[in-house]
Amino acid sequence: MLKLTHVYALLGAFLLYAALLNLRQRRWSMAGFWAILAGPFLFGDAVLAASAAGLRWPAQAMGLGVVGLGVMAARGRLGTTAEDAATLEARRASAQRLGNRLFGPALAIPLVTLALVLAGPWLRWGERLLVDAHQSTLTALGLACVVAFVAALRVTRAGLATGLGEGRRLLDALGWAALLPMLLATLGSVFATTGVGDAITALVGAVIPTDNALACLVAFALGMVLFTVIMGNAFAAFPVLMAGIGLPLLVQQHGAAPAILGSIGMLTGYCGTLLTPMAANFNIVPAVLLELPDQYGVIRAQWPTALMLLAVNFGLMWWLVL
Amino acid sequence: MNYWPLLGVASVVIGFVLRLNPVFVVVVAGIVSGLAAGMGIGDLLAMLGNAFVGNRALLLMVMTLPVIGLLEHCGLRERARDWIAGFRGLTLTRFLTSYLALRQILSMLGLTNVAGHAQTVRPLVAPMSQAAAERSTGPLAATARHEVDAMAAATDNIGLFFGEDVFIALGAVLLIQGFYAQHGIELEPLAIALWALPTAIAAFVIHALRLVHFQRRLERRARASTGTDREPAC
């Protein structure tokens, strides 16, 4: 049975390969960066199992790795290498030659993912499922990437080394931006463990007039947006704001409808996600991927939509909830 | 109540204001927040390590890089542009609005990972958007090209965010239901998911209107610059 663990192992191997190529070119910090990052993918399950069994050093070593990544990122720089006219011309010629066949492998990633997710429950090898039902979308995505890579090698008649080398070129171009989403989620867990949420809730509770329903709703909506902007993730903001304002004040004291408050409250947080560099995988990574000169280019393109939607969400909550 | 962990939040804000490297800022903020909560170095490192491993699914997009890198090396982006340029009557607004609708519907079905910045935006949607824009504006100047790319990425985000909450068995709805269940309020996931529909529709309408406005602005600027001297393409 194919599990997410197998996909992780493959991803870890690719990161190690990227580290090795950088090592050969004496780009030490890049090599160290990808080598450390390969750790959670190659040994992740072992680390979690050891922690659960009370053995602490593997997790601590991983923590030390995180600190190392932070230090290396602070010293390194992002940079895409400029392309000369010859490569540009070669790409044009190859695009002419291969034509629409180039779309096949690119579209195979979404389509194979989709097919595997939908057909997953029926794909069996004897008695066992071919794709693990747990987190099947992510496993399917990993599998689809492998299928698409093989297809891409066939269509372009490139060698394995060229293919992986091109992948490594993109990975190096992404640099620390590739790592940021994972680290921000880590910070979210750290904030939750250290009680940052409780502290903010206590502060908010001390400031707003709790017997005014509208004031509570304003505090809830703005709190969702603000906390999402700081944490980069509405999922992290939601439990904090619900426990602090939503449930005790709006639902229990002012009789708000819980389903509507929860649903639209979460979407109010999403408006904050569109505004913040902390949501790196949505706002910073694409800016790097698209080689925008401005790190905040994507946020600049979406903030008007976010603010208008925020107004709509607030209106909906005021009308439907109170 | 221990207010000292808030120093972690303060370090994030200060780090971003000073434009320090985000990875460095985040690691420092984690350490500050842990120390302020009175954790020892050993506990702190173990917590960082476990949380890091627990969130590794977020790096899965790296799996797409070899495919996308190889195809781009062989001219995928150029081909995507040429293909879209061959459609008559296809404008930037129509193209991105269709993508927005497709992305919202796919997310509503729980297929959030089918598209994305690495999977679809960089190799396909961004070059196609440029080609669609150039149909009505002529060759784009560098700044306009970056704006079109950024709008393509923004459209992907908006389609994803305001579609996924309608899907029952995924993240957001289960988180909301789980929170209420913990506090003794039992809700059907469907009841929560349906209330995401008004916002989903509003998101589509608002962003589609902004796309109309965006294309008009690009056209106005292109007309203004053709009067003087035209910037070379690419």
Residue A84 pLDDT > 80, yes or no? no
Domain range for B158 is 61-227
Which of A226-230, A263-267, B163-167 is predicted with the least confidence, judged by mean pLDDT? Answer: B163-167
Residue B234 pLDDT > 50, yes or no? no
Chain B residues whose beta carbon lies within 8 Å of the beta carbon of residue A304:
210
Domain range for A73 is 4-176
Same-domain status, A266 and A305? yes
Q: What is the pLDDT of residue B110?
A: 64
Residue A201 pLDDT > 80, yes or no? no
pLDDT digits (tens, 9 = 90+) for A156-171: 888 899 899 989 988 8
Same-domain status, B20 and B83? no
Residue B87: Cβ within 10 Å count: 14
Q: Which residue does chain A place closest to B171, by CA atoms?
A: A235
Same-domain status, B69 and B177? yes
User: Does residue B35 lie within any of the structural domains?
Assistant: yes
Residue B228 pLDDT > 80, yes or no? no
Same-domain status, A21 and A152? yes
Q: In which band, very low, low, confident or very high, does the pLDDT at B233 lie, cut at 50, 70 and 90?
A: very low
Same-domain status, A122 and A153? yes
Q: What is the pLDDT of residue A189?
A: 78
Strand partners, A128: A125
Give B101→chain A minimum CA distance, Å. Answer: 15
User: Does residue B204 lie within any of the structural domains?
Assistant: yes
Q: What is the mean pLDDT of chain A?
A: 85
Domain boundary among A176, A198, A229: A176
Same-domain status, B115 and B199? yes
Q: In which band, very low, low, confident or very high, does the pLDDT at A82 lie, cut at 50, 70 and 90?
A: low
Mean pLDDT along residues A267-279: 92
Closest to A235 (Cβ–Cβ): which among B21, B154, B171? B171
Mean pLDDT along residues A279-290: 89
Choose, out of B79, B108, B120, the residue to mutate when testing the contact with A (most A CBs < 10 Å): B79
Residue B223 pLDDT > 90, yes or no? no
Q: Which residue does chain A place closest to B199, by CA atoms?
A: A313
Q: What is the pLDDT of residue B105?
A: 87
Percent of chain B with pLDDT over 70: 92
pLDDT digits (tens, 9 = 90+) for B140-170: 899 999 999 999 999 999 999 998 877 655 5
Give A19→chain B minimum CA distance, Å. Answer: 14
Give A71→chain B minimum CA distance, Å. Answer: 6
- Among A235, A55, A67, A228, residue whose Cα is nearest residue B34: A67
Same-domain status, A210 and A271? yes
Same-domain status, B132 and B147? yes
pLDDT digits (tens, 9 = 90+) for B68-99: 889 888 888 888 778 877 787 889 999 999 99
Same-domain status, B50 and B65? no
- Where helices occur in chain B by DSSP H, the ranges are 6-17, 22-36, 41-54, 65-73, 76-85, 92-108, 126-137, 142-164, 171-182, 189-194, 197-227
Domain boundary among A110, A143, A176: A176
Same-domain status, B43 and B79? no
Which of A269-273, B61-65, B155-159 is predicted with the least confidence, judged by mean pLDDT? Answer: B61-65
Question: Is there a contact between A309 and B199 if contact means CB atoms under 8 Å apart?
Answer: yes
Q: Which residue does chain A place closest to B65, by CA atoms?
A: A167
Closest to A142 (Cβ–Cβ): which among B5, B44, B63? B63
Same-domain status, A18 and A160? yes
Same-domain status, B135 and B220? yes
Residue A80 pLDDT > 60, yes or no? no
User: Does residue B146 lie within any of the structural domains?
Assistant: yes
Residue B35 pLDDT > 50, yes or no? yes
Q: What is the mean pLDDT of chain B?
A: 85
Q: What's chain A's Rg over C-alpha atoms?
A: 24
Mean pLDDT along residues A160-188: 84
Give B229→chain A minimum CA distance, Å. Answer: 24
Domain boundary among A176, A203, A221: A176
- Among B95, B99, B104, residue whose Cα is nearest residue B161: B104
Round to the nearest angstrom and report the end-to-end CA distance of chain A.
50
pLDDT digits (tens, 9 = 90+) for B105-153: 888 876 676 678 887 898 889 999 999 999 888 888 999 999 999 999 9
Number of domains in chain A: 2
Number of domains in chain B: 2
Chain A residues whose beta carbon lies within 8 Å of the beta carbon of residue B186:
none
Same-domain status, A155 and A8? yes
